[in-house]
Chain A
Amino acid sequence: AQKITQTQPGMFVQEKEAVTLDCTYDTSDQSYGLFWYKQPSSGEMIFLIYQGSYDEQNATEGRYSLNFQKARKSANLVISASQLGDSAMYFCAMREPYSSASKIIFGSGTRLSIRP
């Protein structure tokens, strides 16, 4: 069965520093997708970035990049030049192999706090 692990329950980072949020996954499938979501205290889940298992390049979206290391089964999120507004809960998620009943499973999350 697929599994997502986020080992950092909480992190504190100084504003303007880069931050790496860890995510490891476990699957025996060759085709899968990995996502990162941000959840501020308001509650809304905001989609940040996606990486497909066959994508050779690491995904990037603005200040977000996904450090995809397939052999290690890790998909860490890197946020460059952190801002106060980055303070939130961050969830790593994995899509089950594509089928008519594919689901996305979420890790336990990392709470990121940015210090001014």
Chain B
Amino acid sequence: DTEVTQTPKHLVMGMTNKKSLKCEQHMGHRAMYWYKQKAKKPPELMFVYSYEKLSINESVPSRFSPECPNSSLLNLHLHALQPEDSALYLCASSQEMANEQFFGPGTRLTVL
């Protein structure tokens, strides 16, 4: 299994909703990442987990809350988002931090 999966593919939520994005990989990778990508821009790093511990938080607002329940799973919990948070959210994994990253298909999030 050489892929990263993400669910859901699309998500529309209101500003008062609570939702979660899920990411899974079965490549035995020990680093997992969340990126946010706005249209026509490169991905922006949000969080990095290494060996199931949060290694990097790029000063992301607390309305985004990551969770790594085990080495294969990565969640991103969303609460009280703003319309400007609408974007493509990409999950990635790599063997170790700084190795090439393999990305999932992304979740297109729209906040109304």
Contact = CB atoms under 8 A, between A and B. Distances in A.
A83 B87 CA distance: 29
B90 interface: yes
Interface of A, helix, strand, loop or mixed by DSSP: loop
A33 B45 CA distance: 17
A102 B43 contact: no
A106 B92 CA distance: 14
Contact of B102 (A47, A96, A98, A103): A47
Contacts of A44: 103-106
A63 to B, nearest CB: 18
Nearest to A91: B42
Contact of B42 (A33, A98, A101, A109): A109
A84 interface: no
A37 B101 CA distance: 10
Contacts of A104: 45, 98, 101
Interface residues of B, number: 23
Nearest to B48: A103
Given A33-B98, A108-B42, A109-B42, A101 B103 contact: no
Task: Please tell me the size bucket of the interface on A.
Answer: 20 to 34
A107 B43 CA distance: 9
B1 interface: no
Given A101-B55, A109-B42, A47 B98 contact: no
B77 to A, nearest CB: 21
Contacts of B48: 101, 103
Nearest to A107: B42
B88 A43 contact: yes
B45 A47 contact: no
A30 to B, nearest CB: 15
21 contacts: A33-B98, A43-B37, A43-B108, A44-B104, A45-B92, A45-B101, A47-B101, A47-B102, A96-B98, A100-B50, A101-B48, A101-B97, A102-B98, A103-B45, A103-B56, A103-B98, A104-B45, A104-B98, A108-B42, A109-B40, A109-B42
